[in-house]
Amino acid sequence: MHKYRVLGKKGEGTFSEVLKCQNIQDGTYYACKKMKQNYQSLEQVNNLREIQAMKRLSPHANILELKEVIFDRKTGNLSLVCELMDMNIYELIRGRRHYLPQEKVKNYIYQLIKALEHMHRNGIFHRDVKPENILIRDDHLKLADFGSCRSVYSKQPFTEYISTRWYRAPECLLTDGYYSYQMDMWSVGCVFYEILSLHPLFPGANEVDQIAKIHDVMGTPDATILNKFRNKARGINYNFPSKKGSGIEKLLPNATKQTLEIMNKLCTYDPDERITAKQVIRHAFFKDLRDADKRKQHVEKKKLSLGDQGSVISEDTAKESHVEGKDGDNDNHKAVRKARRKSKLHESENYSSTLLPKVQNNKMVGHSISNYPTQTFGSTSFPKLHTNNNRHQQSMLPSIANTHYNKHHHTTKTFQPAASKNVYGHFQLPSISKSKEAQF
C-alpha cells in the first residue's frame, strides 16, 4: 500500500472495508477493498474465489475491474485495488422522495442483466445480487463483490444461508442447498422492483417470515413445485396455507405491461421455468438498448478498421451506414477502401505468395528447382517423391507428393477427437473449465 494514499472510508462489510485511495505517482483515485482476515501464503490468496472470478470475467463493461492485488507476507494483510465508482444502488435510492425515471431504471437493469449473462456464460453465478453490490458512476453500472460466487459445475449441495435474505430465491429457502445460477435471476427481480418503487419487495424479518412475505405477493406455489423442493430438503414443513397472493401488478399500478411481464418471469417459483439472463436481454422490452449497443459496436469497429488511415467517424454516420450499408458511407471511406484495394493489388503483383517468404517474381527467372538459391528458404528440405523414373527428384509440392505416394501405399490415418461440448451445448472454453484447477 506504499504507492497509495488513503483518503477515507467508503464503506464496511462483514469481511472487509472499502477505502478511497489515490495513486501517489499519477493521482488516480481507486477503491481499495481491505480484507479483515489474514492469509498465510500467496497460494492461498491466489485460490480465493473473488480474485479468480474477477480475473476470469475481466474485461467487461459491467463487471468491476480488479486493478491490483496487494499481499503483505509479513502481516498477512490482503487488499484488492479496484476502479472507483460514485455510489451503489442502495445509496442512490435511500431516502428518495421521487421515483427515478423509468428509462433510467430500465437502463440500470439492462446493464445488470448483461453482467450476469457474462458471468453465467462463463460458468459462474454471483449468489449475492443486491443493491449494495451494484455500483454506478455517471449512469454506468458495474456488478461488484464476488466473494460469494461459485461455479455452475461445483457439486451440490451448496451453503444454505447464502445471499442476503430479502433477495434469496425460494430454492435457497426451501432446500438444503440445491440451487444454481437461476437464483441470481430471482434477485434481479427483487432489485428491479426496489429501484422502481424505492421499497424492498420481500422484506422478511427471518427465514419463516421471508417465505410468508413471498407467498403474500406471489401466492402459494402449486403442489408440483413444492414436491420438487421437498425431495431436496429435510426438516422443513411444507404444509403452507393456500394463498392467492396480491401480485406485483397491485404493488406497481403505474408500471408498464412489459415491465410487469419481465418482473413476474424473474420472480417465478420454479427455477427451471425462470427466465434466463440471455432471454431477458433478447426481450422486446430492451430492443432500443440492444440497438444502441449494436450502433456503438459498429462505431468502435469502424474506428479500429480506419484508425490507421486517420479517418474520423461519428455515431450518426455509423447509424446511417449500419442501416444503409455501403451506400451510407461518405466519400472518404470509399477512398480509403479504394486505396487499400490498390495496395493489395500492388503487393500481389510484386510477390509470389503471402504464405511463404516474400520473393520477387523477377528473381525466379533463370532458376530451376535444382539450382534455386538456397538462401531463400534457408535449410528447409522437401520430401523425396518416389516414382519409377526418378526416385530422388526434389518436389516443391510436398503435400501433392505425399498424396501421390499414399495413393499407392496403404497408410494408417490418425483422427483427432472432436471438440467436446459443455452442458449448454457450447464448445468448452477455458473460462468454464471443469478441471481441478477451477477453485470455485
264-299 residue pLDDT tens: 999 999 999 999 999 999 999 999 999 999 998 888
Q: Output the CA torsion 140→145→150→151 (10° steps).
A: 40
Residue type, 129: V
439 and 49 Cβ atoms separated by less than 8 Å: yes
The DSSP secondary-structure symbol of 245 reads -
3-state DSSP assignment of residue 239: coil
99 and 198 Cβ atoms separated by less than 8 Å: yes
- pLDDT computed for residue 146 by the predictor: 94
- pLDDT computed for residue 396 by the predictor: 42
Q: Cα–Cα distance between 224 and 6 in angstroms, integer?
A: 55
Q: Where are the domains of the chain?
A: 4-83, 87-296
- pLDDT computed for residue 164 by the predictor: 87
Q: Please choose, from the candidates 189, 329, 332, 335, the residue with its C-alpha nearest in 3D space to the C-alpha of residue 263.
A: 189
Check: pTM over 0.75? Answer yes or no. Answer: no
What phi and psi values does residue 284 have, to the nearest 5 degrees? -60, -25
- pLDDT computed for residue 91 by the predictor: 96
Choose, from 26, 72, 86, 128, the residue flagged as catalytic. 128
217 and 201 Cβ atoms separated by less than 8 Å: yes
- pLDDT computed for residue 424 by the predictor: 47
Could you please state the CATH topology (level 3) that the domain comprising 4-83 is classified under: Phosphorylase Kinase; domain 1 (3.30.200)
Q: Which CATH superfamily is domain 87-296 in?
A: Transferase(Phosphotransferase) domain 1 (1.10.510.10)
Q: If the chain, 440 residues long, is cut into consecutive pieces of 10 residues, what is the mean pLDDT of each piece?
A: 88 89 94 94 92 94 96 94 96 94 97 98 96 96 94 81 86 90 97 97 94 96 90 80 92 95 97 96 96 90 72 50 47 67 57 44 43 39 44 43 50 47 46 46
Cβ contacts of residue 353 below 8 Å, gap of 6+?
Answer: 359
- pLDDT computed for residue 333 by the predictor: 62
377 and 362 Cβ atoms separated by less than 8 Å: no
- pLDDT computed for residue 412 by the predictor: 46
- Residue 128 annotated to the active site: yes
- pLDDT computed for residue 77 by the predictor: 94
